Amino acid sequence: MKRLLAVLVAFAIPALCADNPMVSNLVKHWQTSKAYTLAIADQMPEDGYAFKPNPDEMTFGGQLVHIAQANGFFLSKISGTPSPIGKPDKLGKASVMKLVSDSYDYVIKSVGSLTPEQLHAELELEGTTMTGYEALMLAADHTTHHRGQCIVYLRVKGIKPADYRY
């Protein structure tokens, strides 16, 4: 059984190389996620960036900053490079959208240059051990979760969100 597993891993590792279509597809999905997240962010008027539907929630701008900082966090852990994503001085629309865009640029660049070793390396994240690939899936899921909250905020404000993109 161990030998079969070793053979499967030997074939799987080249499939995850940066020159492989799998990594290209991951990059493509992060590019789509960037465009969709920025479309949602752009729909909220400037004064809506301070909006939150109840006191226990983050503001709309806070949700987007959280997405950006988490993008930086996850990819820095996977790639082993320091995250360039900080916190904007202001939570206005322009500065938040720039931060989100910059975070996606960092993700897209990092994902495009991940090695098989980085994708298979075990990391300690969120109180558990996972591979770099699993952490990348967690990062995408995290983004989807918080972007979905932004969509609800738009709807509460009477704004029809942009159509879903995948």
Question: Side chain identity at 96, as an amino acid letter?
Answer: V
Q: Model confidence at 21, in pLDDT bands (50, 70, 90)?
A: confident
Average pLDDT, the chain: 89
Spatial contact of 72 and 79, defined as CB atoms under 8 Å apart? no
- Residue 17: C-alpha distances to residues 5, 35, 141 (Å): 19, 25, 22
Q: What is the pTM of this model?
A: 0.87
Q: Tens digits of per-residue pLDDT, 70-85?
A: 999 999 999 999 999 9
- CA-closest candidate to residue 103, choices 51, 26, 34: 34
Q: What's CA 137's distance to the chain center, in Å? A: 9
Distance CA 89, CA 104 (A): 19
* Domains of the chain: residue spans and CATH: 2-156 (1.20.120.450)
Distance CA 85, CA 83 (A): 5
> So what's the pLDDT on residue 19?
63
